[in-house]
Structure 1
Amino acid sequence: MSEEKACDIKIRAYHFSKAIINLISKTKIERLYFSIVDQLIRSATSIGANVVEAKAGSSRKDFRNFYTIALKSANETKYWLCLIRDTEVIGVDKEIVKELLKEVDEISKIIASIIININKE
């Protein structure tokens, strides 16, 4: 994997995490939805954190494992965003949620591609 590609996904995951945090910070969340929002923030920020950890991995296996965790976090993030999109969370901009879903889908495809390439080497 090229250094440029790793940097791109790291930056992209970071900006995605920021966008999730900004969305939630601008929304008055009812108590009923606290756990969903908490899980969303945890999974979304985990993507970038694991990509960064992969870079510091001590072996190829370590590198691959962190990317696998990042992919799982991206998939979990899709679940929480879909749940927010399809429920009555008041104040959440559904158009922004749709954009975030598209972005996390692209991020997960990039991470999956990196994992596939690691396994080929």
Structure 2
Amino acid sequence: MSESIIKAKSFELAVLGIRFYKSLVSDKKEFVMSKQFLRSITSVGANVREAVNAQSKADFIHKLAVSQKECDETMYWLELLKETDYISVEEFKSIYPKCEEVLKIIRSIIITSKSNS
């Protein structure tokens, strides 16, 4: 059940991130940090998908751990974009909580999976 939730939520996050990236590039003319942001936010869902198709429990946990790192990195780029005034507090608040939610779900799945091993 939680695998399908994280699969859907990480995909929604990627779509939101791609749209956010487009506005950063077209409206703010920011290309360096926004590219890093795009890579990390789309990697979250990609690694969740790899985890769902893992060959073993250890592989599953490892892929989710990579996804967790990518989600945390995405949050870093958002914080940096906000602090350097490329995005407003409102823009930040439109996406950051969604990253936090996905990160919490991923962490929960990892903890549960490890305790069930």
TM-score (norm 2): 0.90
Residues 32-82 of structure 1: CA distance to partner in whole angstroms, max 9, x if unpaired? x32211110000001000000001110111100000000000100000001
The one-letter code sitting in structure 1 at the alignment partner of 2:56 is: S
Q: Provide the secondary structure at the position in 2 that maps to 1:26.
A: helix
For 1:28-47, what aligned pairs fall within 5 Å after superposition?
Answer: 28-30=27-29, 33-47=30-44
Give the number of equivalent residue pairs: 114
Distance 1:12 1:119 in 2: 22
Q: Quick one: percent identity of the two aligned structures?
A: 32
Instruction: Give how far 1:26 is off.
Output: 2.6
Unaligned runs of 5+ in 1: none
1:74 corresponds to 2:71: yes
More RCO (CA 8 Å, sep 6+) = 1
What corresponds to 2:60 in structure 1? Answer: 63
Query: What residue in structure 2 maps to residue 109 of structure 1?
Result: 104
How far the C-alpha of 1:96 sits from its partner, in A, is 2.9
1:86 is matched with which residue: 83, 86, 89?
A: 83
CA distance in 2, matches of 1:84, 1:62: 33
Q: State the alpha-carbon separation in 1 of the partners of residues 49 and 91 from structure 2.
A: 26
Tell me the amino acid that sits aligned with residue 101 of structure 2: E
SS of residue in 2 equivalent to 1:110: helix
Kept in 1: contact 2:21–2:35 (CA 8 A): no
Q: Look up the equivalent residue of 2:115 and give its one-letter code.
A: K
What amino acid maps onto 1:113 in structure 2?
S
**CA offset at residue 88 of structure 1?**
2.3
1:54 equivalent in structure 2: 51
Q: 4+ residue runs of structure 1 moved beyond 2 angstroms?
A: 26-30
**TM-score normalized with structure 1 length:** 0.88
Cα distance in structure 2, aligned partners of 1:60 and 1:44: 24
> Where do 5+ consecutive residues of structure 2 fail to align?
none
Q: CA deviation at 1:93?
A: 5.1
Q: Does the Cα contact within 8 Å between 1:9 and 1:107 map onto a contact in 2?
A: yes
Moved more, 20-29 or 72-81: 20-29
